[in-house]
Chain A
Amino acid sequence: MKLYVKSLSMHLKSMLEYKASFIIAFLSQIMVFFSYYFIILSLFDKFDNIKGFTLYEVLLCFSIIQFGYAFCETFARGIDRFDRLIISGDFDRLLLRPKNIFIQVLSSDADFIKISRLIQALIIMIISLINLNISITPLKVITLFLMIISAIVIFFGIFLLAASYCFITIQGLEVRNLFTDGGKHMAQYPIGVFKKGFLLFFTFVIPYAFVNYYPLLYFIGKSNNVLYAFTPLIVFVYLIPCFLAFKLGMKKYQSVGS
């Protein structure tokens, strides 16, 4: 862990070597990601609800997912960009070191520019919360907290799966975008607005629904089922097979090589 924190500070140091371009990139990220919000805002300009969900409910849903994604892109970039590590051969270098390989991969990269999106998501989240008029109870605070954490966990898991795939081949990694980008696009709307098949897939195969659908229903008062408040915990279980896949990939890599 100490190693990870130390690496983070070094990554930051590296980035600040190019101060001007860091600031410009930081600002441009916010603008670039505006287009995602633009779709929602435009549609709500023409319509007043989507299957009973209002603008701020959808924005809350979206900002939680964006937060989790931006968080992982910032702090788990080493796993996100694992393909680069394999291609450049730097992964071999990490194997030559006597530290847990997973921590090393995690430490190998960090992208502080993405923090701009983290902040952007936070702001949207706060705006939505203010406009939603929700009677705050301790359990609802916990629910919101669990939603945010599970949003981080789910992307972490998907990144890990994609990284495991890189051990076999780095070709066709674009399929990862289906689950990160595609999932992200989808989960920006309450998943209940989609057809059954999608809902089931993103409940049981990649559990986005437990991140920001079932708990959201409880949070905004569409459901009184207290169990929904704790569904984000299921996402943690999902991490186990992801880790196992990574372990398996490691084994394969050492027998086949790059």
Chain B
Amino acid sequence: MRFYLSYFKLRFITQLQYRKAALAGIATQFFFGLVYIMVYLAFYESSSNNGPMEVGQLVSYLWLNQAFFALIYMYYKDNEIFNMIKNGNIAYELLRPKKIYFMWFSKIIGQRLADVALRFLPVLIVAFILPYPYGLSLPSSFLSLIMFLITLTIGALLMTAIITLYHVLTLSTLNEKGITNIFMALADILSGGVIPIPFFPVFLQKIANVLPFRYICDLPFRLYSGNISVSDGLFQMLIQVIWFIILVLIGNVILKKILKKVVVQGG
């Protein structure tokens, strides 16, 4: 465990060196948040019919989306891992006395945590200060806050499991572009990171609800504002955990198979 934590520390230190990047990231997230809130509000104001979410819940959703952006977006490639795969340095990785899957897993989550650690607080603070209807509301109850924190954490693990799986698949196809790219873009949409799922056309909502992606950001963000009730949330949290376990297992099994092939071929 300590070994895997050290990845996070290293990434965090690296990240700290790029303070201008951190500031720029905060500014970007904040700007995007405002733009999207204004767009949604303009739609709400222009129409007589009500939107699928209450304004307050929607605005909170959008701010949380920006503040924790680094924890939820799926379109991510770890260059170090990719280069290793491409130039064959993966062989060195095989020499280390740790499981490759969990090394990659730590690498990816370390990077993302380091990203989010520097950025989420300033965005949240400013979002809380902003006046109605632009501001972030308080969580609907203490319990929903707790649920939010738990599901966000499991969601981050789930996100990492999916991205790690994606890297594992790249190892077998040696093609980082193309189909996998499309897959990641779709995953981004289906997680609710692009637009909240209640805004989807109905048939797409049905699809999104049976896939694992929505447990990354749709679930925690809607729990926070009470759009999903605590009692519903408990059940969904269980599904979230099951998805996480399944995806980690799949990743491990596939990786094992691929590595066996590598060894048989003599590297």
Contacts and interface: CB of A to CB of B under 8 A. Distances in A.
Interface of A: 21, 24-25, 27-28, 31-32, 34-35, 38-39, 42-43, 45-52, 169, 171-175, 177-178, 181-182, 185-186, 189, 193-195, 198
Nearest to B189: A35
Interface of B is mostly: helix
A191 B35 CA distance: 10
A25 B179 CA distance: 9
24 contacts: A21-B177, A24-B177, A24-B178, A28-B179, A32-B181, A32-B185, A34-B185, A35-B188, A35-B194, A38-B189, A39-B195, A42-B201, A46-B51, A47-B46, A49-B47, A171-B20, A172-B24, A174-B25, A174-B28, A182-B31, A182-B32, A189-B42, A193-B42, A195-B38
Interface of B: 18-21, 23-25, 27-28, 31-32, 34-36, 38-40, 42-47, 49, 51-52, 175, 177-179, 181-182, 185-186, 188-189, 194-195, 199-201
Contacts of A185: 32, 35-36
A175 B182 contact: no
A25 B46 CA distance: 39
A19 to B, nearest CB: 13
A45 to B, nearest CB: 5
Contact of A21 (B39, B175, B199): B175
B174 to A, nearest CB: 11
A69 to B, nearest CB: 16
Contacts of A49: 46-47
Given A28-B177, A43-B199, A171-B18, A177 B23 contact: no
A178 B46 contact: no
B38 A45 contact: no
A51 B21 contact: no
Contacts of A178: 24, 27-28, 31
Nearest to B188: A35
A181 B24 CA distance: 13
Contacts of B31: 178, 182
Contact of A46 (B21, B23, B39, B199): B199
Contacts of A198: 34-35, 38
A198 B43 CA distance: 17
